[in-house]
Structure 1
Amino acid sequence: MSANDTDNKQQFRPEDHPNDHFLLTTVVGSYPKPKWLNRAKELYQDPESDFSDDNWLEAKDDACRLITNEHERAGLDVVVDGEMRRNEMVEFFAHRIDGYEFNGPIKVWGHNYFDKPSVVSEVEYDESWLVDEYEFTAGASDRPVKVPITGPYTLANWSFNEAYEDDDELTLDLADLVNEEIEKLVEAGARYIQIDEPALATTPDDHAIVGEALERIVAGLPEDVRTGLHVCYGDYSRIYPEILEFPVDEFDLELANGDYEQLDVFKDPEFTKDLALGVTDAHIAEVDSVEQIEENIKKGLEVVPPEQLVISPDCGLKLLPREVAYGKMANMVEAARNVEEDLDEGRIDIDRSTVAPADD
C-alpha cells in the first residue's frame, strides 16, 4: 500500500491542533529508563531479595505510566511507553518465540555484551508478545500509541541459525509470526505499527528479502493501520530507490546523525512514501535548539511536501540522560509547530526543483 493511496496519518491529528498544516510528531521507540527501575530490576534478579513478581510488575507499570506521561508533556502527537518493559530489541522477542534458546552473552564491542540467541528448531508463535503492553499504554494515555516491533530480518540476522537451511527461510517464517502478532494488536485497537530493521543498514544488499518479509507482515491489514519501517544509519544509496517498493506507509530514517549528507539520495527518483525524518541526533547528549531543529525539518521539505513529512528523533533515545531526551522531544515538538505556522503563513519557500519525478 502506498502512502499516496490513502492518507492514514490524519487520524492522529489532534482535534485542537493549532495550525492548518500538520507535521505528525512521534519517537522511534526506546527512552531512558528511570534509575529506580534499574534498581528494581537488580532487586528482582537478586536471589537474596524478597522483591516479588508483583513488585516487579508494579515497578514496570509505574515506569510505563511515567514515560508515557513524559511524552505527553513534551507534546508528542503519538506516544510510546519508551519500551520500559523491554531489555534488548532482539532478546525481548526471542524469549517469546518458540524455537529460540539462549546460551549466555557474547561480547559485541568494548565492554558491551549481547545475549545473542540461537534458533534451534522451527520458530512458532505461542502467546502474544505486545498486546498487553499496548493495551496498558493506550489506557494510560489519551494520545494515539505507536507500537515498535523488531523486524524478522533483524531477528534472524542477529541470531545464530542452527535450524534453517539459510537466514532467508528463517526470516520469512518469522515474518509470518510478526504478521500474527500485528493482527492481534490491530484487534486490540492499534493503528500505528513500526517495524524496526537496523540490520538492513549493515547488510543492505538483502533489501529483496526484507521486502518479501514485509509483504507477509502487512498481508490482510486494514488500510487505516499505519505501517512504518525504521532503518538506522547506513549507506542508504544501496537500498534506495528499491525500498520504495516496500509495502509500508512511511520510512523512518536516521539522517541528522550524518548531518544530512545523504539527503540528496532520496531526491532521485522522487520519494513517493511518507518520510519520518530524524531531526535530532540521538547519539549526542545535548539538547538541540528549536532553531536548529526547524532548519532540520526544512531539510525534509526539500525531499517531500509537508503532507508526507513526519517528525521524529533519529533513533531510540535510551542511551541519553533522561533530561536530555526530554529536552530533545520538547524542542522537536515546538519546532514542528513553528514550521507548521510558517507554512500556513507562506513564510517558507522550499526549492524542490532538484527532485526527480517518480516513474509512472
Structure 2
Amino acid sequence: MTGRERFRPADHSNDHFLLTTVVGSYPKPTWLNRARDLRDDDDSSDFDADAWDEAVRDASRAITHEHEHTGLDVVCDGEMRREEMVEFFAERIEGYEFNGPVKVWGHNYFDKPSVVSEVAYDEPWLLDEYEFSTDVAQRPVKVPITGPYTLASWSFDEEYGSEETLAYELADLVNEELSRLVAAGARYIQIDEPALATTPDDHAIVGECLERIVADLPDDVRVGLHVCYGDYSRIYPEINDYPIDEFDVELANGDYEQIDVFADGDFEPDLALGVVDVHTTDVESVEQIEANICEGLTVVPPERLTISPDCGVKLLPRNVAREKIENMVRAARNVEAALDAGEIDLDCRTV
C-alpha cells in the first residue's frame, strides 16, 4: 500500500481519491476557553491540573469526532492542547525561557520566547496528543508540528548568535520527537514553516532542516510541508529538492493568482491545496469549492492532490469552520465522481 492509499477509507465509493484533511488548528469550544481562565486564575483553587486535563481530553474527543462527522479522510484534534504554534513547543524545549509578551501589531501581543542556553530534548511534545487522538478516532490522525526554522526565527537568540545554527539544532530535536511519534504509530506528519514565507531567501536552510528531520524515518511516513502566504515563486522550484511527500499552500485567499507558479509541469511533490479561505466567515458553496479544486488539477493529477482549508481555522466561529469543512469534503467527493464518469479531464475542463 502506498503512502497515500493507506489513507483511503475502506468504504470510499469513488475510484478516484482526493485525500481530504485539515491543516491543524480548529476553534476551541467556549467551555474550554473558560476552563483555561479558571486554570490561570490564582484564586480558583478548585480547578486543579486534573480538572484541566479532563477538560482538554473532552475537547480533544469532541473535535476529533466533529472532524470525522464532516467526512474528512484524515483528522486531528484541532490542537486543543495548544495556544500559539511557537510558545507551545518552546515551553517543552530545554534552553528556552519566557520574559514577557512583545507587541506584534495594534493591540496584539506574542509571548516571544528566548533561547538562553543550548537547546535540548527534555520531554515528549505531542505524544499524549497523538495517542489520545488515535484512541478516540476511527480515521487516521495527522500530526502538525511547528518546524525548526520557524521556532528559531520567531524566538530571541541569546545563545547561538546564528539563526541557522539554532535552526539545525532544533531540527535534530524535531527528528527525535518524530521518531517517538512514528514509534507510536504516526504515519502522516505536517511540518509548519510559516516563517519561510517572510524570509524566502533562506529556503536552503529549511531544506537542510528537513533533511535532518526526516533522517531515519520509515519510508511509509508521509511528510508534508505547510507554508502560508508569501511569494511562492521565490521558493519554487527549489522546493522540488525538499525531502517531502506533499507541499501545502494557501491560495484560496488570493484567488489562485499564484497557481501558475507550480503549473510548469515540473512540480514534484504532491500538492495540498487550500480550497476554503480561513480569513472570511463567508461559507463557500460546494460549487465554488469544486472550482477551487479544479485549480489544483492544473498542477497535479488527482492521485497527487490533497484537499484542505487554506490554513488552520481556529479564528473562525466553530459553526462556520464546520460548515466550510463539510462543504469542502462534499465538493471533493463530487469532483471524484465527475472524474470517474469522465465528465471532466485532468485539467478539470468540462468535456
Give TM-score, length-normalised by structure 1.
Answer: 0.95
Cα distance in 1 for residues equivalent to 2:43 and 2:347:
64
Note the C-alpha offset of 1:279. 0.4
The CA distance in 2 between the partners of 1:253 and 1:164, in whole Å, is 31
Partner of 1:62: 58
The yes-or-no answer on 1:10 pairing with 2:1 is: no
- Determine which of 192, 209, 216 is the counterpart of 1:213: 209
How much identity, in percent, do the aligned residues show? 72
| Paired residue type of 1:98 | E
Matches within 5 A, 1:64-213: 64-213=60-209
Superposed CA offset, 1:230-270 (max 9, x none): 00011000000001100000001001011000000001252
Runs (4+) of structure 1 moved beyond 6 Å?
Answer: none
Alignment partner of 2:41 out of 40, 46, 53: 46
Q: Deviations over 1:277-315 (max 9, x none)?
A: 000001111111000000000000001000110000000
Partners of 1:351 and 1:127 in 2: how far apart?
A: 47
CA distance in 1, matches of 2:265, 2:168: 29
* Structure 1 unaligned residues grouped into runs of 5+: 1-5, 354-360
Q: Which residue of 2 aligns with 1:19?
A: 14
SS in 1 for 2:128: helix
Measured in 1, the distance between the counterparts of 2:2 and 2:263 equals: 21
State the alpha-carbon separation in 2 of the partners of residues 147 and 260 from structure 1. Answer: 27
Conservation of the 8 A alpha-carbon contact between 1:152 and 1:213: yes
How far apart, in 1, do the equivalents of 2:318 and 2:282 lie?
11
Q: 1:301 aligns with which of 297, 300, 304?
A: 297
Counterparts of 1:242 and 1:296 in 2: how far apart (Å)? 25
Question: Which of 206, 216, 221 is equivalent to 1:225?
Answer: 221
What is the CA–CA distance in structure 2 between the aligned matches of 1:304 and 1:146, rounded to whole Å? 22
TM-score (norm 2): 0.98
Q: Tell me the matched-pair count.
A: 348
Q: CA deviation at 1:352?
A: 8.8
State the distance in 1 between where 2:11 and 2:48 align: 43
The answer on whether the counterparts of 1:303 and 1:352 sit within 8 Å (CA) in structure 2 is no
CA RMSD of aligned residues (A): 1.1
Cα distance in 2, alignment partners of residues 60 and 33 from structure 1: 10
Q: In 1, are the aligned partners of 2:286 and 2:330 still within 8 Å (CA)?
A: yes
* CA apart distance, 1:351: 3.9
For residues 48-85 of structure 1, what are the alpha-carbon distances to aligned partners after superposition, in whole Å with 9 as ceiling and x for unaligned? 11211111000000000010011001000000000000
Alpha-carbon distance in 2 for matches of 1:141, 1:237: 38
Equivalence for 2:270:
274
User: Is the contact between residue 156 and residue 170 of structure 1 (CA under 8 Å) also seen in structure 2?
Assistant: yes
Counterpart contact for 1:241–1:269, Cα < 8 Å: no
C-alpha contact (below 8 Å) 1:276/1:312 kept by paired residues? yes
